[in-house]
Amino acid sequence: MNITSRRILLTVIVSALIVIEAFAGEAPRLIIFISVDQMREDYFERFAPYYSGGLRQLYTEGTFYSNANLNYASSVTCLGHATLSTGAYPMTSGILDNEWLNPVTRKSVYCVEDTSAGKVDGEGGGESPNNLLVTAIGDWLKTSSPKSKVITASGKDRAAILMGGKHPDCAYWYSRKNGHMVTSDYYTQHVPRWVTEFNSSQWIEKNVPPAWTKLLPESVYTKEGPDEFIAEAKVDSSSSFPHQFEPGKKTEQLLATPYGDLLVLDFAREAIRAEKLGQRGVSDLLCLSLSDCDYIGHAFGSNSHEMIDHLVRLDRALGSFFADAQKAIGVSNVLVVLSADHGVMPLPEFLSQFKHERARRIIYQTEIKKQLDSLDQLLQKEWNIHGQIFENGGFLNYASAARVGKDSLQVERRAGHILQSIDGIADVYFRRELMDARTPDRPYLSEFRRSYYPPRGEDYQIRYCEYCLVSSQTTGTSHGSVYSYDTHVPIVFWGAGAKRANVTREVHTVDIAPTLARILNVEYPRTVDGVPLEELK
């Protein structure tokens, strides 16, 4: 699709707009919209004594929403970033998981895959926002102010792409192959000179030491627990500091350390300088997703020495970055908005051993799938069906059941009974329940509905028990559940137009995009599920 066609399509898409009450003050010249991947809200409170930079400024000087929640069930990266930028739940945006099976072809679909998106200057390619069905805050801004610029950057392709919406000026993401920031020709045929210069600057060689070591005194870290813990992922047979980079593998290992975020922030500095963001008489939008917290959290957990050290380093890095942006553009002209795509469950072994909470790790293949396969075989024998009834990816073999006289309701009732008999499964939500508003309400049904987009959805979705980490790994942790440890995230506005306040009422991440629309004095489409936050007027 050429640029002219894209502009026509964008005009059509945003034709049905909602007129909103204007922001009381002048729109900021630059909005810096940051997602810290996997950042729990309690990271601000728990580690506040150790912050002295940007996280401290946000927490103590900004409009801080301490009771913010995703308000949908599937707490993963693609959904999180799409929701932040569009103000639309997955049921509206069409982004229902990081990957999903096409219900017709049963082939896996990556949320931002696009085989038609080519490489740019020999790098990147293969990805775009084509799977995103709605527009985002950057699109609304450019429709209202064509001279405004929207640029996104992240360690992850899916985060940069989905924060950018349909048509930002460009989205850049980190390539583990060579340590460069890359894009696809969906956005541009050639990267600007400043990007080429940044990629050739040998940033990693100049800024990343041979090992990741602790920044603060040891006493700070030991308050949280031990450095070496059995359930943490091992690096060179150890999960404790220091973490040495393997020779020749810094570019590959960078995102699992604090240095990946530092690279993205330096890249953002260059974007502000070279593109003159916030310095051209119009409002611009710079979207950043900082990925390191997610990789570190997965490997070591939310209570680890690694997490503490990373957050302290991030705090200082953000403080420096904010100061540089304000120096270039003016203190009153920069608004920072920070949130997260999701949280994370602490290591279940840590919870049980040190917090004395009931938590456990469930290995999917040996504890869930093994039981399900056994029960499936019994049902096949009972119904005289050849072939699995529970198919991969959350699908049911309705066709085979129909051939022996079983209708879809019978299949689902029996499937539900079987699934809920498996230890670890708390509930099951079938397609008809997720689509039919007349279904009697029960716990978390609404959250699962907001996560579900029927044309791309499976036949059923499972809710596992709370504080049950269902995983294929014996170490590390994850997210993806409907529970608060995965869905409770921060929302904070700091800078131009934002007052100091701690807001305790419940708000949701879908509310950020329409709030930014009001701040920018632009209209937003009726696809938005959120509402402008009343404190930002």
| Cα dihedral sign, 504-537-78-277 | negative
Asked if residues 208 and 245 have their Cβ atoms less than 8 Å apart, the reply is yes
Give the C-alpha separation, 1 to 245, whole Å. Answer: 42
Would you give the DSSP letter of residue 231? T
DSSP 438-489: TSPP-TTHHHHHHT--GGG--SEEEEEPTTEEEES-SS-----SSSHHHHEE
Query: How many alpha carbons lie under 13 Å from residue 359 in its C-beta half-sphere?
Result: 17
Distances 490 to 55, 388, 449, 471 between C-alpha atoms, Å: 11, 43, 23, 26
Pick the closest to residue 488 from 62, 35, 49, 65 (CA basis): 65
Question: 287's torsion region: left (phi>0), alpha (psi -120 to 50) or beta?
Answer: beta
Give the C-alpha separation, 269 to 432, whole Å. Answer: 49
Asked if residues 84 and 341 have their Cβ atoms less than 8 Å apart, the reply is yes
Burial (Cβ within 10 Å: 0-12, 13-18, ≥19) of residue 25: middle
Determine the 3-state secondary structure of 308 from DSSP.
Answer: helix
Active site residue 515: no
Asked if residues 75 and 486 have their Cβ atoms less than 8 Å apart, the reply is yes
Catalytic residue among 63, 77, 475, 527: 77
Provide the annotated active-site residues. 77
